[in-house]
Structures are given as structure tokens and as C-alpha cells.
Amino acid sequence: MREIAAAKTLNVLVVDDSAVMRQVMTTVLSREMGIHVDTAAHPLIAMGKMKQRQPDVIVLDIEMPHVDGLTFLQQIMADQPIPVLVCSALAKNGADTVLRALEYGAVDVIQKPAVGIQDFLYEQAIMMVDKVRGAAEARPKRRASIPSSEKRHSADVVLPTVPALPTRTTLSVTTDKVVAIGTSTGGTEALRVLLMGLPLDCPGFVVVQHMPEVFTANFAERLNQLCAVDVREAKDGDRVRPGLVLIAPGNRHTMINRNGAQYMVRVVDGPLVARHRPSVDVLFRSVAQAAGANAVGVIMTGMGDDGADGLVEMKKAGASTIAQDETTSVVWGMPKVAIDRGVVDEVLPLQRIAQAILSRTGLARPA
């Protein structure tokens, strides 16, 4: 994992056409020791500054008028990959563009601050700084530019395919199995790979992906179009059932409760836990209490330690535990902390996690 030494200044380049937004972002990030912020009002200006000093992280507004932020992002990923955080307002009509940016190589998305710094909530500033630091540890890969004919709609984007495993004709396990997944930076692509490898009769999944509200619903919809299983944003009272993947809504904690032989989802408000909302720890702890040995906990790419404490509780309750390996993680933070706690049964590359989940829930397929 690429380490950012404590003594090293983290250089962040904010690209946004709004002078107000540039000022807000500079104020929020510059308050943190060890972060230097430069700004650019236009990608052409940004390119000139990048030649003078390469930033560790770029915070990119992709909704700039008269400027195609996605094209600039693609150029960065094709020429000299640098970790890019896309910054977007909480608007449903912008969610599709954000998802395209993640598909094109951006490592994460952050919520655009309120109009004035006085309106920018303290906890939002915490999450923004965490995401910037997490992006600095990311290892983006070079990507070929996507032809212009494929830029019009997200449905036109050609993604690498991961064949779904064959569907069984009969169920060999009871419906009280549950799989809980936690992920953050780099997790949108990792989840796509994992979920596209699941058959229709897989156990029920509940997923926490650190992502702002509004975007989680569109993310779930996008995955639903790509996967054999049903994928949707979780709602309070949803039943966890085979063949269904529930994505925790942004800015809400998601837990599960046992209701007889069934698991039900609870979606609740609450303070940040492990500096996040939704928090992986909150989900994992509820799964430990509700499902115990009937659960599988999976922790994947992301910065920080969210999920490690919860995975400890799942392991103590008898659950199986899996962590993504360093090689396939964009940021090997969350998995490493869990592994260091000694509570992970298997450390696997991303492409093998789906098979391992099926094996541990009694739905093993031929290798």
C-alpha cells in the first residue's frame, strides 16, 4: 500500500468553476495539518498546475457549466493516473454522472459543501477530510479513454464482464443465512465485480458502501441492471431474502433484526460511528447479534478502521469472516485493520470472494 508519511505534505488540487466552492473547500481542507490546497477554475488551468507540481489528490467538480469534467477525468486516468475524488451536489439528476465518473476511474465521491463555510456541518468536514486522506493512499490504474460514442449514457459504457455463477435448481440451505459486506474507497467497482458473480439463489446480502445520500439509490439501480440478483437501496422494514442485495442508504445507519425465522432491515438516524454514517460497524454488530453463526462478514477496500470492531463481534458470535487482499484493494486500510485484529478466516483476491461466500453458506460451486 502506498503510504503517505506523517511528515509529508499532502498536495490537493481542487478543480471547480465556482470561486465560492473553491474557497469553502480550501478552508475546510487547509484546517488540517499536513494538507496543502491549490485550486483551479478550469481543467486547462488545472493541467498547467499539474505540470508544475503533481498533486497527490484531485477534487474534481464534474458538473461545471461549459466544461466536461468527465473528459478531464478520462484524460487523467489515461495519461498519468492520479487519485480523483468527484465532488457533487446532492441532486438526483447528477447521480448518473457521478456513477459514470466512478466507472471511469474516480476513487470516491464526496458531497459538495453548502453555499457558505458556516453552513458546512462539522461532521461533513470530517468525512471530506477522511476521503481526501483515503484517496491519497489509493492506487488508481491507467485506463484507456472511452470512445466519444459511449459517453452519452451510462448504459452505453462497456464494463469488464464477470460471468455470474450458474443458478442451482434447488436450495440446499435455509433462508436464515445472511451476508454482510462493508467497503469504502474503491468499493463501487469491487461490489460490481463481487455481485456480478452471484447466482439467483444466493443468500440475502446487506451492504454498507460509504457514499453520500441520493447516490446510493442510483448506485443500487445501476448494479441491479448489471447483476443476476436483485439489488436495491434498503428501506426500513425490508426483508433480507435469498437473491436480494440491499444497499444501505447514504446518511442513514442500516442494521438487521431477527423476526422469527426471518431477518428484517432497520434504517435509522444517528451520530457518526467510526466517523461514518452509514457505518460498517453498526451493520456488523447487528448481524452478530441477530444472525451469529448463520452469517458471513466481508470487509473490502477502504481507508480507516470502520468495520473492524464489528467484525470482531461477528467472529465471537461464530460468523465466517472474509477480507479482500492487498493486491486487489484500491486502499488496503479497512481489510488490513481487521486482519491485524486476528478475526479474518480468509484473505482473498476480489475475484474469489463470491465463490468463498457461496462455499461458506452451503452453496459451493465447482471451482
**Catalytic residue ranges:** 184, 210, 306
Sign of the alpha-carbon torsion through 79, 82, 87, 88: positive
d(CA 19, CA 173): 57
Query: What is the pairing mode between strands 262-268 and 253-259?
Result: antiparallel
Which amino acid is present at 128? Answer: M
Sign of the alpha-carbon torsion through 326, 328, 331, 335: negative
Q: Closest Cα partner for 284 from 110, 332, 75, 274? A: 274
Burial class of residue 80 (count of CB atoms within 10 Å of its CB; 0-12, 13-18, 19+):
exposed
3-state secondary structure of 63: coil
Report residue 32: phi and psi, to 5°. -85, 130
Show Cβ contacts of residue 299 under 8 Å, excluding neighbours closer than 6 positions. 181, 182, 183, 280, 307, 308, 311, 321, 322, 323, 324, 334, 335, 338, 344
3-state secondary structure of 216: helix
Residue 344 CB coordination number (10 Å) = 23
Report residue 49: phi and psi, to 5°. -70, -35
Partnered with residue 239 across adjacent β-strands are 264
d(CA 352, CA 363): 14
Tell me how far CA of residue 52 lies from CA of 8, 155, 176, in angstroms.
18, 37, 58
- Grid coordinates given for 315: 467472529
Q: What share of the chain is helix, strand, coil (3-state, %, to 5)?
A: 35, 20, 45
d(CA 41, CA 152): 24
Tell me how far CA of residue 200 lies from CA of 13, 203, 224, 231, in angstroms.
44, 9, 12, 11
